[in-house]
Structure 1
Amino acid sequence: MSLLLGVNIDHVATLRQARYALQPDSPNAEPSPASIVRDAKAGGADSITIHVRVDRRHMQDADAYEVKNTCDLPINLEMGNTPEMLALALDLSPEFVCLVPETREEVTTEGGLDVHGLFDSLQPTVAKLREAGIKVSMFIDPDVEQVEASARIGAEMVELHTGCFANAFGDTRKQEVQRLTQAANKGHALGVQVNAGHGINYTNIVDLYEVPHFAEFNIGHSIVARSVKVGFETAVAEMVELMKGYQG
């Protein structure tokens, strides 16, 4: 099976919020995240990822519902483990939910969720999502202990945080590739789908070819940045083409 691409459109909303944070409902507010979904699909996207953060710094609730109502691709909702976000997820009913850590100080998600340490608080959320027929993923650092905890809690998928990999070079990157490989092997052995995301771009993606068992990459910022030059459909298509080099 070929590697799938989930396109994260959060930073389309970031661009809008840069000017219209106080007027997101203005007729002049652009670009609309939902308006870009058609281009993502035309470029070859397999799913759409959105992240409604507690502080609503980019995607708004209305964006999530508009995407859900207009998108015919599977939707992956990233969310923090809060009652508010769980209620949103259960009402929105996306195909997938990826539980992620959130802190107000960070610019973007800077690390994986501590599933092992937060097991008891995460378990009820995972159970409720699964009862609603929503597949659950855990956004975790490439750590065997976290993979094991994710499988134990009932997640069908893990998304390995590739931020440290993306920010490493030379021998340090090789070490990060080894960490990702160990985590991917463990996930595969436990019957958990292994995805990856954060910081993957048009250059470093080739170094991930060495890591086995990946099913999907979730990529956002690099595609949005590239689209400024070539347009969104082409930016997605270029990433899809690069992903064909992955042999699993």
Structure 2
Amino acid sequence: MKLSVNVDHVATLREARGGLEPDPVTAAHIAEIAGADGIVCHLREDRRHIKDRDLKLLRETIKTKLDLEMAATEEMIKIAIQTHPELVTLVPERRLERTTERGLNVVEQVSFLSDVVSEFHKHNIKVSLFVDPIPDQVEASAKTGADFIEIHTGEYANAKDEKTQLEELNKIKEMAKLAHQLGLRVNAGHGLNYLNVIPITKIPEIEELSIGHAIVARAIFVGFERAVREMVKIVKGI
């Protein structure tokens, strides 16, 4: 299994003071050195953390893979085509949320998302849809022609007791299998940390995990490179 490191939370820390540090682009380079397979960033419409300049520098300098999380708006589609990441992950976006709180409602916008996917494919950019582990959403995702889904693991990660966590884990397992059967490739992420990620790494259909906050939180105590290396070992089982 692969690990892509989300550097949004480094940018969030920078924006807390409105200065230049810490730099998410530097964090991306350290993550690559530490063994990350890719870098994730979310360019939000309100630019609350990652800025256009960050995205430009990431595209110019990272050596692995760039996954651009974005809302499917006209502005963001244009930016993504100009930037040409290896992957775009389409996510829902609300101004008041602290982080992405739910998956896309693909069922209600299959036609629109099919057009968006088609536009990206014209430019040789792969597309992932960030969805909750619900059969209807996974099946609708396959209809759009998307290359991947990214299963939203938030409910699993936030479960308050073992029974609920196991129920949510089973949903993720079942939806990963369903997606695979439908010809979709599978990624996963949201809320994963150094403990709850372990059962997720055992799901064979999942190719890659996107993790950011837990790594940045761990880095406060042990440094960013070590925090990434520790997560790489867990995700890859080494």
TM-score in terms of structure 2 length: 0.96
RMSD: 1.2
Q: Name the residue aligned to 2:154.
A: 163
Choose the corresponding residue for 1:208, options 197, 200, 204: 200
Counterpart in 2 of 1:25?
A: none
2:224 equivalent to 1:235: no
Residue 234 of structure 1 and its aligned partner are, at CA, apart by 0.7
Q: Which runs of 5 or more residues in structure 1 are unaligned? A: 21-27
- How many angstroms does 1:120 deviate by? 2.2
- Name which of structure 1's ranges 206-215 and 111-120 shifts more when overlaid on structure 2: 206-215
**TM, length-normalised to structure 1:** 0.93
What is the aligned partner in structure 1 of residue 164 from structure 2? 172
Report what 1:183 is aligned to: 175
Aligned to 1:152: 143
1:107-156 Cα shifts (integer Å, max 9, x gaps)? 10000001111212222211111111000000000111111111110111
Percent identity (aligned): 46
Question: Quick one: which amino acid aligns to residue 205 of structure 2?
Answer: H
Whether the 8 Å contact between 1:51 and 1:79 is mirrored in structure 2 is yes
Give, in whole Å, the separation in 1 of the partners of 2:233 and 2:204: 19
Provide Cα deviations, 1:42-99, integer angstroms capped at 9, x if missing partner.
1110000010000111001111001111111110000001000001001000000000
Contact 1:177 1:210 in 2 (8 A): no
The range that moved more, 124-133 or 75-84, is 124-133
The residue number in structure 1 matching 2:12 is 14
Supply the AA of the counterpart residue of 1:200: L
SS in structure 2 of the partner of residue 97 of structure 1? strand
> How many Å apart are 1:244 and its aligned residue?
2.8
Report how far residue 240 of structure 1 moved: 0.9
Pairing of 1:15-164 with structure 2 (within 5 A): 15-20=13-18, 29-164=20-155
- Check whether the contact 1:177–1:211 (CA below 8 A) recurs between aligned residues: no
- Letter of the 1:38 counterpart: H
2: CA distance, partners of 1:70 / 1:159 = 25
Q: Residues of 2 paired with 1:208 and 1:30: CA distance?
A: 33
Contact 2:110 2:143 in 1 (8 A): no
Secondary structure in 1 aligned to 2:36?
coil
CA distance in 2, matches of 1:211, 1:38: 28
Counterpart in 1 of 2:189?
A: 197
Give the CA deviation at 1:36: 1.3
| Aligned CA distance change for structure 1 residues 33 and 209 (closer, same or farther; 3 Å) | closer
Q: Which amino acid aligns with 2:44?
A: R
Between the aligned partners of 2:216 and 2:202, the Cα distance in structure 1 is 26
C-alpha distance in structure 2 between counterparts of 1:153 and 1:48, whole Å: 25
Deviation at 1:207, TM superposition (A): 2.6
1:219 corresponds to which of 211, 219, 222? 211
Counterpart amino acid of 1:118? Q
Classify the secondary structure of the residue corresponding to 1:6. strand
Q: Matched residues in 1 for 2:29 and 2:45: separation?
A: 27
Count matched residues: 237
